[in-house]
Structure 1
Amino acid sequence: MPLTELINLRQLLHQTPEIAGEESATAEKILAFFANLKPDQTIQNIGGTGLAFIFKGKNPGKRILFRAELDALPIQEKGDPSYKSQTAGKAHLCGHDGHMTIICGLGEKLAAQRPVSGEVVLLFQPAEETGEGARRVLDDPKFQQIKPDYAFALHNLPGFPLRQVVVRQGTFAAGSTGLTISLTGKTSHAAHPDAGINPAQAIAQLIQTLPKLTEKLSTFALVTVIHAEIGSLAFGTSAGKGSLSLTIRAFDQDDLENLIKMITEEVKRIATTEKLGCKFSFVESFAVSKNDPGAAAIAEGVLKEKNLQVIEKPEPFRWSEDFGLFSQSCPSYLFGLGSGENCPQLHEPTYDFPDELIVTGVKIFEGIARKVNG
């Protein structure tokens, strides 16, 4: 298929975004594209709306997996491309439309020339943005049919020169989780706050102390207060309940888990002192994305052979990627592809994936597939 067809596909996906957990029409478009490529096996509804296409070699060998994401964001697009999102309040503002197209381009290459050995799996994962999709895919019994020896993924990166490849040894992107702490006391008249149990003092203490817990860790970690709520806007009432929401992130998985433990212990301590009930609710949990040295050697060997411009980033990225969970299940490698120094940042309402990256992404992924599977 000529490049113009892949660009048309990318722009069609951009026009018709679906958010996490709702990606059935997107999956249908991908399924229709692969119908012409005749993969050896197709797995549908993996982890929800997910899809996997398997291209098999004649000889035994390694099974490698390439992953793209199906979901868009619940944000209104403010840019004005000719293929602007046709769905109010939803848009591909992270480039998943481009990532899918790159994997579709890789599918074309594998259909034209099957791998010599082993298997190449092209996975389209749902619900990346909420940190739920990878877990659902890995927990799906169907995943055992495609459990890989290596997994690879890329993410486009605004702020880096167009087509520059951004690599890192070890941690590529932070792990993170959202946490809401709910505190329950006792409502009373505002004239008699002593007759109730108001969580205001506890929440004020937690806002002060929780972000400082990162000082006990030796590597980067961050606790960001994102929301706080106490009682309701009733001037005659002393609040009897409140909540505090945080985002917790770290570059090391053990540090992330230790930090979560320290936070919950500190909350329980303060809640007990203040005679409050407390509950914890975790959302949008992402594992640390850690690059395996063996997978890195394969990918970075290909980057060298293709004479691509490569930069090694000194620090991991502070944002999180759902691909991190794959790195806990098999040797994995995540790298970045520069989408231009002046490209709007990811999740900004004017962001749009640069179509110039499609060829580069396909070239790298095909190089990896050929290196491992021939």
Structure 2
Amino acid sequence: MTPDTIARLTRLRHALHQAPELSGQEEQTAARIADELRARGADTVLTGIGGHGVAGVFDSGQVGPTVAIRCELDGLPIQEQSDAEYVSRIPGKGHLCGHDGHMVMVLGVADYLRGNRPKKGRVVLIFQPAEETGQGAIAYRVDPQFAKIAPDYAFSLHNLPGLALGEVELCEGPANCASRGMRIVLTGKTSHASAPQDGVSPAAALASLMPQLAGLGQGGFLDADFALTTVTHANLGEPTFGVAPGEAELWVTLRTVADERMQSLIVEAEALVDKTATDHGLGCEISYEDVFEACVNEPEAVDILNQSCAKTGVSCTLTASPQKFSEDFGQFGKDAKAAMFWLGAGTAHPQLHNPDYDFPDELIPVGTAVFVASLRSLLW
């Protein structure tokens, strides 16, 4: 990758950074990506996949595997705190997970493909919406257009604060935890604050559930039995002194390494909530949001990424420990040999989703090079 190409991709990254769009709202980002792919000579550009998803296809015209490189389009509902000239221009929204950087690395692959067509098979560059909610990859895969580009192999990355800048970690098997948001609504009956005995307050049930649910999963070693439950939000009644509450709401995040353990954790949590509600004479409703299945790296795909790092001079460490955060990239592994690697953003770099996080531009040529080497190993 030439210095001019790196500089151009960096400017593009900054432009994308200034205009973040939330999950499911990535219309302008998607339109720009589609234009960038056309400018780079993609044979086919598909849009509107699973919402605002985009795909750029570079086809050799010869028989061979389809290899996908995937990135994400969406930003976050967080106010950015930065002195950078390219700080987000959208109040309350920011690219504070690095998806802007991921996009330009995949466009860097398109830059390479413009002048170096695969000798067999085809490359599909996937720009996926709504990763932050866990809905984007599912919607992308079930879209009828996906059948036209369904890959045999799929690769992705995520930048990782805490890991040395430009270094790679790679994990065979479970790579990212399953997680889901559990929303609990407890319903009783309001009463005058002077006569609470004439109502049915959910206060005691709410106070009881918070530590009990947290006790169902306390973290620990990241193995098949790992479970972590985190209380993230609680609300009781209305902000008034004259009414004893009649409703409470509790949000809890459930997290496991394995999908099977998630199912057993759900059974345990729902049983606890149902019993507590019954014991306190309350109605109860449970719903789920932000549902992520576990992301599992396939061994052959991991080996390809590991060899690609060696070919490009990128330090790569194989680890047995998955990441606690979730990723919907695992959905692509249902159809393809898939693997995701983690690319170090720096040991002292602000954490993902922090208001002062910013993607390190130094990673652009590194991630691009690993992707290109992986494509070359399969299609040249």
TM over 0.5: yes
Q: Which residue of 2 aligns with 1:109?
A: 112
Report matched runs for 1:166-177 at 5 Å: 166-177=169-180
Q: Which residue of 1 aligns with 2:54?
A: 51
The reply to whether residue 91 of structure 1 matches residue 94 of structure 2 is: yes
**Cα RMSD over matched residues?**
1.8
Are the equivalent residues in 1 in contact too, given 2:190–2:245 (CA < 8 A)?
Answer: yes
Amino acid at match of 1:171: P
Q: Is the partner of 1:339 in helix, strand or coil? A: strand
The CA deviation at 1:126 is 0.8
The reply to whether residue 146 of structure 1 matches residue 149 of structure 2 is: yes
Are the equivalent residues in 1 in contact too, given 2:73–2:130 (CA < 8 A)?
Answer: yes
Q: Is the partner of 1:29 in helix, strand or coil? A: helix
Equivalents in 1 of 2:27, 2:67: separation in Å?
25
Report matched runs for 1:54-133 at 5 Å: 54-133=57-136
Are the equivalent residues in 2 in contact too, given 1:286–1:325 (CA < 8 A)?
Answer: no
Are the equivalent residues in 2 in contact too, given 1:173–1:288 (CA < 8 A)?
Answer: yes
Which of 244, 252, 263 lines up with 1:257 in the alignment? 263
Q: Which residue of 2 aligns with 1:352?
A: 358
The CA deviation at 1:215 is 7.0
**Structure 1, unpaired ranges of 5+:** none
Amino acid at match of 1:230: L
Report matched runs for 1:292-331 at 5 Å: 292-331=298-337
Amino acid at match of 2:66: R
Q: Which residue of 2 aligns with 1:181?
A: 184
Equivalents in 2 of 1:201, 1:249: separation in Å?
26
Q: 1:91 to 1:215 in 2, by over 3 A?
A: closer
Amino acid at match of 1:132: Q
Amino acid at match of 2:284: C
Q: What whole-Å deviation, never above 9, does each CA across 1:136-178 have from its counterpart, x for those lacking one?
A: 1112111111111121100111121111011112111111111
Are the equivalent residues in 1 in contact too, given 2:80–2:92 (CA < 8 A)?
Answer: yes
The reply to whether residue 285 of structure 1 matches residue 291 of structure 2 is: yes
Q: Which residue of 1 aligns with 2:225?
A: 219
Q: How many residues of Structure 1 are paired with residues of Structure 2 in the alignment?
A: 374
The CA deviation at 1:325 is 2.4
Q: What whole-Å deviation, never above 9, does each CA across 1:97-148 have from its counterpart, x for those lacking one?
A: 1100000010111121111111211010111112221121112111111111
Amino acid at match of 2:323: F
Which of 21, 26, 44 lines up with 1:23 in the alignment? 26
Equivalents in 1 of 2:26, 2:90: separation in Å?
13
TM-score by length of 2: 0.94
Q: Is the partner of 2:277 in helix, strand or coil? A: helix
Q: 1:269 to 1:346 in 2, by over 3 A?
A: same
Q: Which residue of 2 aligns with 1:164?
A: 167
Q: Is the partner of 1:226 in helix, strand or coil? A: strand
**Structure 2, unpaired ranges of 5+:** none
